[in-house]
């Protein structure tokens, strides 16, 4: 028996799955671990090249997960909903708290192509010259290069986990010749891993890349389907500037109605309409100060 797809256009969006053999085993030798992480990155590279994947949105979602991981490293309890609130509910002139500052750092790290000047916006406590020196510290294959950068920053700034992880992901992106930083290491590492050095840290980074790359592939497939559905229902929207609003949803993790190019009441109606069409979700779980995203 076959069943019709509820959203035919979504069903046409199929991205290649990560092979099971990449993630099903737990290799222990450095050679095996490096092989698996290389395979995972190669597969992710192919997925990221697909036009169906909303690249900016994917990076923002991964930035959110990296920020969650940093909260765990620092012993804080904030999760996705708290982090979104800490950033999106800021009023003009307000300063973000610690959680908001971490999420903003990751968002800034992914919003522009990898470059020293762009990274200095994400980690403003570091001089551009210092960022350049640490990025150049890494040598060898991509994951090894990222691990060396991570260790170098942590050695020189023991409490600078956030900066170290951002620069390590930047080094990984540069080694892979990706234009943009794709947060991978933070969500795959543990607090104990950040205490490691040398070969132990390198192995931890290889393991982290395998798990995080696999999760990035799954997230890419999910967002590609959601993006396709949003594009499919867009012609049903009658609001002025609906096209521009759809583009915003396709590039941002979360959106407040005030961020849309519509009057407040019209923006709220548009969000409600998109929820009715199954194209957008309400992310805050509140009746007021709501956040929306695909």
Rounded average pLDDT over 215-236: 97
Tell me the chain's radius of gyration from C-alpha atoms.
20
Cβ(291)–Cβ(254) below 8 Å = yes
Q: CA 251 to CA 54: how far, in whole Å?
A: 7
The model's confidence at residue 12, banded by pLDDT at 50, 70 and 90, is low
Q: What pLDDT score was predicted for residue 70?
A: 98
Where does residue 41 fall: left (phi above 0), alpha (psi -120 to 50 degrees), or beta otherwise?
Answer: alpha
Q: What pLDDT score was predicted for residue 92?
A: 85
pLDDT digits (tens, 9 = 90+) for 158-195: 999 999 999 999 999 999 999 999 999 999 999 999 99
Q: What pLDDT score was predicted for residue 11?
A: 52
Q: What pLDDT score was predicted for residue 25?
A: 67
In the CATH hierarchy, which fold is given to the domain comprising 237-293? Arc Repressor Mutant, subunit A (1.10.10)
Q: What is the pTM of this model?
A: 0.93
Q: CA 276 to CA 285: how far, in whole Å?
A: 16
Q: CA 28 to CA 45: how far, in whole Å?
A: 24
Q: Domain extents for the chain? A: 28-222, 237-293
Cβ(153)–Cβ(164) below 8 Å = yes
pLDDT digits (tens, 9 = 90+) for 88-113: 999 888 989 999 999 999 999 999 99
> What are the residues facing 293 on neighbouring strands?
281
Cβ(180)–Cβ(59) below 8 Å = yes
């Amino acid at each position: 028996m076959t069943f019709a797809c509820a959203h035919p256009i979504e069903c046409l969006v199929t991205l290649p799955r990560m092979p099971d053999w990449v993630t099903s085993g737990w290799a222990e030798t450095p050679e095996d671990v490096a092989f698996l992480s290389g395979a995972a990155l190669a597969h992710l590279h192919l997925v990221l090249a697909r036009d169906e994947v909303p690249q900016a949105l994917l990076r923002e979602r991964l930035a959110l997960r990296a920020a969650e991981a940093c909260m765990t490293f620092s012993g804080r309890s904030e999760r996705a909903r708290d982090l979104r609130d800490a950033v999106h509910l800021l009023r003009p002139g307000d300063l973000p708290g610690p959680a908001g500052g971490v999420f903003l750092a990751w968002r800034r790290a992914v919003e522009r192509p990898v470059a020293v000047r762009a990274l200095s916006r994400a980690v403003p406590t570091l001089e551009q010259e210092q960022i350049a020196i640490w990025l150049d510290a890494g040598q060898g294959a991509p994951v090894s290069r990222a691990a060396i950068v991570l260790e170098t920053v942590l050695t020189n700034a023991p409490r600078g986990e956030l900066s170290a992880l951002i620069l390590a992901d930047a080094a990984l992106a540069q080694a892979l010749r990706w234009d943009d930083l794709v947060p991978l290491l933070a969500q795959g590492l543990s607090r104990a891993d950040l205490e490691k050095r040398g070969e132990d840290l390198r192995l931890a980074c290889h393991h982290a890349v395998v798990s995080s790359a696999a999760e990035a592939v799954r997230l890419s497939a999910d967002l590609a389907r959601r993006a396709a559905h949003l594009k499919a229902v867009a012609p049903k929207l009658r609001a002025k500037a609906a096209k521009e609003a759809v583009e915003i949803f396709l590039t941002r993790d979360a959106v407040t109605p005030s961020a849309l190019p519509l009057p407040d009441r019209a923006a709220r109606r548009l969000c409600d309409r998109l929820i009715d069409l199954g194209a957008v979700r309400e992310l805050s779980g509140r009746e007021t100060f709501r956040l929306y995203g695909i």
